[in-house]
C-alpha cells in the first residue's frame, strides 16, 4: 500500500464509513418496520396463531424444517405446507396435520424419522392456525414453486 495513504486515513475511513452505513441501515430498518403491516397481515394473528408459534418454538421444529427458507435443510419447507397439503381448505389442512402428527414416527426403515411430539388435538389445531397464517405472509413470492 502507498506510503502517502496513512494509518490515520485508514482509521478515519473505518470509523466514518461504519457509522455512515450503520445510520443508513437504521433508517432503512425504520422504513421497513413501518411498511411491514402491509405484508404480514398482523390483524389475523389470533390467540391460536400465537399459541401455535410457541408450540413451533417449544418443539424446535426449526431444527429439521425450514420456515421461509430459514432453519435446517433436513425436512421440507413449512411456510407453504398449508398450500401444499391443505387441498385448498382449512378443514382439509387441519385433518391432514392431525393425521400426520399422530402417525409419527412413521418407522419406515431407512427413512428420515420425525419424532412424535405428543401434541393434543387443541395444540395441533393451534399449530395449523400458525402455519395457515404463515402461508399468507407476503414474502416477495418465495418459494419459486409449491415444493418449497
Please list every residue from 61 through 90 that binds another protein, using CB under 8 A.
61-64, 66-77
Among 4, 89, 91, 107, binds another protein (CB under 8 A): 107
13 or 99: CB nearest another protein: 13
Residues between 109 and 148 that touch another protein (CB under 8 A): 109-113, 115, 117, 134, 137-140, 142-148
The contact mask relative to another protein for 20-49 (x = CB under 8 A, - = no) is -xx-xx--xx-xxx-xx--xx-x--x---x
- Give the 3-state secondary structure of residue 3: coil
Backbone φ and ψ of 141, nearest 5°: 70, 30
Which three three-digit cell numbers place residue 49? 396463531
Radius of gyration of the chain from its Cα atoms, rounded to whole angstroms: 22
> Alpha-carbon dihedral of residues 22, 24, 29, 35, nearest 10 degrees?
180
Shortest Cβ 29–another protein spacing (Å):
8
Amino acid at each position: 500500500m502507498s506510503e502517502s495513504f496513512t494509518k490515520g486515513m485508514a482509521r478515519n475511513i473505518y470509523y466514518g464509513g461504519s457509522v455512515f452505513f450503520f445510520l443508513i441501515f437504521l433508517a432503512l430498518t425504520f422504513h421497513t418496520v413501518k411498511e411491514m403491516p402491509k405484508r404480514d397481515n398482523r390483524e389475523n394473528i389470533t390467540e391460536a396463531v400465537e399459541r401455535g408459534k410457541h408450540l413451533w418454538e417449544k418443539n424446535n421444529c426449526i431444527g429439521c424444517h425450514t420456515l421461509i427458507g430459514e432453519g435446517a435443510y433436513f425436512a421440507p419447507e413449512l411456510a407453504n405446507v398449508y398450500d401444499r397439503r391443505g387441498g385448498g381448505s382449512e378443514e382439509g389442512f387441519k385433518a391432514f396435520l392431525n393425521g400426520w402428527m399422530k402417525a409419527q414416527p412413521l418407522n419406515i426403515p431407512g427413512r428420515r424419522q420425525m419424532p412424535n411430539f405428543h401434541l393434543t388435538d387443541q395444540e395441533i389445531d393451534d399449530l395449523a392456525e400458525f402455519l395457515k397464517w404463515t402461508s399468507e405472509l407476503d414474502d416477495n413470492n418465495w418459494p419459486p414453486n409449491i415444493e418449497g
